[in-house]
Amino acid sequence: MLFPYDESPAGFLSVFLSRDGVERVRGADGVERVPEADRVRRSGHTGIYVGRRPAEGCETQMTDAADGDQTATDGGEPPDGSEFGVGEGDGDGTDGPRIEFRGGKWASTVPLVFFIGWAILQSGVLGIGDTNGLVVGALIGTTLGMFLVRGDWKAYADTIFEGMTQRVAATAIVAWLWAGMFAETLQVGGFVEGLIFAADALNVGASTFPAAAFVLCGLLATGIGTGYGATVAFVTLFFPAGVLIGANPVLLFAAILSGAVFGDNLAPVSDTTIVSAVTQDADIGGVVASRFKYAIAAAVPAFVAYLIAGSVMSGVELEGAVALRESANALGLVHLLSMGIVILTAVAGRHIVEAISWGLIVAVAFNLLFGLSSASDIVAFTVTEAGSLSGLPVVEVGETAGVGGSLYAGAVGFFPLIVLTLLIVAMAQIMIRGGGFEAIQTFLLDRVATTVRRAELTMVLGTATINGMITINTAAEIAIAPYVARIGEKFNINGYRRANILDANTSALGYIFPWAGGVLVGYQVMVGPNGLGAEYGSAMVVNPIDVVPYVFHGWFLVAIFVFAAVTGFGREYIPDRVSEEVSRA
């Protein structure tokens, strides 16, 4: 149940989930709301509030669960994730225009299955890492599904639009655009050269650079709460610096992705952390504390693996690399302050767009104040003939009219990935409305999850399967979360345990599959307009399929939870621990 909260940010809804049911707080004006006193923390990404007790003077109404209504012992009704915008309802499509397919519910998986097959053929077999090609595969898959619909195609077409308007897609898109502009502005401000200078001064060589990138990217992703944003920043800035020093580009890209996995999995303000906690009736703080041992158990061997692999995997020769290293200077390191502002603002609970915007403003100011770049490096209007405005610092005369600069290049480079993301979320919604997820759930509950061990293995493998189909990790997590909750409750598995299984796999595999959003967002930085490939040469472009074996932290995290499911390591049942009161937006 969701109730309006008129003092919360626009578009956010708030509700308290208490141990005994749903706690509704009504003010003097009759409007049910979360009192101001109970807003102890808000995530800048999704507007989730963690509350404690009703404010003094508010009328409290308790709604008890009806007899026979199975609820989680460690919280109220299991949230289904619908407030986050994907798969609203129970996942069977009954709360919207249900789509009937020839071949039954399983036929609704055809668009996504076709897309995955296309991606494997293109990226894995043919070795073509082209986001535009994946867009074509998604378009064809979506169109093929239409021919399997029984009766009128209108509901199918409407579901495509419904999926594309889900908030989870918009969240990823906004993070990419802002992070792209910010990272590109730091790059034109000499941050890459500053990093090369720092690496030489600290004796960070080619063999140790991937391990260092893994740790630093993990810290950034944990601080700002978005692995996608951290990937964009590190591929734009740290990746070219490391390759120019002599690090292996494939290993370095994989190390950055591993850092993003670490942050997405552990950050309290990460969307995946919040969704996993709320949908499994667990408090966010307790979830983060309980999963720390798993994250560290995967991170330590991953760090060692990057040290070993870095010493045996050689780098590539780049034209002009020696000259660039010799011209590197420390002034570009002033942008460490720009990044610090983003981290501190995000940690303070501000929205990720606000946090990056403040960092961007400071970066632009530093560029102009210290002469690190010109105004036209940031925003440039190119005209073919001189005119009255040609004297402006952002107007240039050239052969072809157009718009350029770091803000332009940082945003436009993600346009193909944005289109692909919208299509993927639309195909996922088709699968939900067509009953495909319901069919998967029924199969898992009735045929596979027959013991506690098999139930947890089902959660692990089920989340992996869905993540392979829905490559935006938060969207995949929302889609599978209700089923993880049902399987877990059937065997009395604690909400903390369920949340950890859910988040670890979606965080990890979202940066491993070559068609996954986390991989493609980094790849797009390399191949986009004015990308790394255009600036430094083709050696700076890594095929997404090549990094799959080297995302060590992601693979170790998945392996740890397979081991935990088989052996019972860390397993908790609902009576073992009860989650704190949770408020969700």
Which 3-state string (H, E, C) describes 226-278? CHHHHHHHHHHHHHHHHHHHCCCHHHHHHHHHHHHHHHHHHCCCCHHHHHHHH
In contact, 582 and 21? CB cutoff 8 Å: no
Does residue 290 register a pLDDT over 50? yes
Mean pLDDT, rounded, for 411-420: 84
CA dihedral 415, 421, 424, 430 (to 10 degrees): -100
What pLDDT is recorded for position 495?
A: 86
Average pLDDT, the chain: 76
For residues 76 and 436, the model is more confident at: 436
Between CA 538 and CA 185 the distance in angstroms is: 22
* Lowest mean per-residue pLDDT among 9-18, 252-261, 324-333: 9-18
What pLDDT is recorded for position 256?
A: 94
Does residue 443 register a pLDDT over 50? yes
What angle is formed at CA 75 by the lines to CA 74 and CA 81, rounded to 5 degrees?
125
> Strand (E) positions, 319-456?
380-383, 395-397, 402-404
For residues 481 and 155, the model is more confident at: 155
In contact, 256 and 231? CB cutoff 8 Å: yes
* Lowest mean per-residue pLDDT among 15-19, 363-367, 447-451: 15-19
Contacts (Cβ under 8 Å, ≥6 apart) of 136: none
* pLDDT band of 576, cuts 50, 70, 90: low
Mean pLDDT, rounded, for 279-300: 86
What angle is formed at CA 488 by the lines to CA 468 and CA 515, rounded to 5 degrees?
10
Contacts (Cβ under 8 Å, ≥6 apart) of 447: none
What pLDDT is recorded for position 379?
A: 92
Give the Cβ contact number of residue 393 at 10 Å. Answer: 12
Mean pLDDT, rounded, for 28-53: 36
Does residue 562 register a pLDDT over 60? yes
Between CA 514 and CA 124 the distance in angstroms is: 8
* pLDDT band of 575, cuts 50, 70, 90: low
What digits encode the pLDDT tens for the residues 494-537?
A: 888 888 988 888 888 889 988 888 888 888 888 877 778 877 78
What digits encode the pLDDT tens for the residues 175-193?
A: 778 888 888 898 888 888 8
What digits encode the pLDDT tens for the residues 264-276?
A: 888 876 777 877 8
Buried b (16+ CB within 10 A) or exposed e, 51-86: beebbeebeeeeeeeeeeeebbbbbbbbbbbbbbbb
Between CA 336 and CA 296 the distance in angstroms is: 26
pTM for this entry? 0.69
What pLDDT is recorded for position 2?
A: 34
Q: Helices 249-266 and 517-527: crossing angle, nearest 10°?
A: 140
Between CA 287 and CA 291 the distance in angstroms is: 6
For residues 320 and 414, the model is more confident at: 414
Share of the chain above pLDDT 90, in %: 16
Between CA 184 and CA 529 the distance in angstroms is: 12
What digits encode the pLDDT tens for the residues 460-472?
A: 888 888 777 777 7
Between CA 247 and CA 324 the distance in angstroms is: 15
* Lowest mean per-residue pLDDT among 72-76, 83-87, 92-96, 309-313: 72-76
In contact, 7 and 35? CB cutoff 8 Å: no
Contacts (Cβ under 8 Å, ≥6 apart) of 16: 22, 23, 24, 25, 34, 38, 51, 54, 581, 582, 583
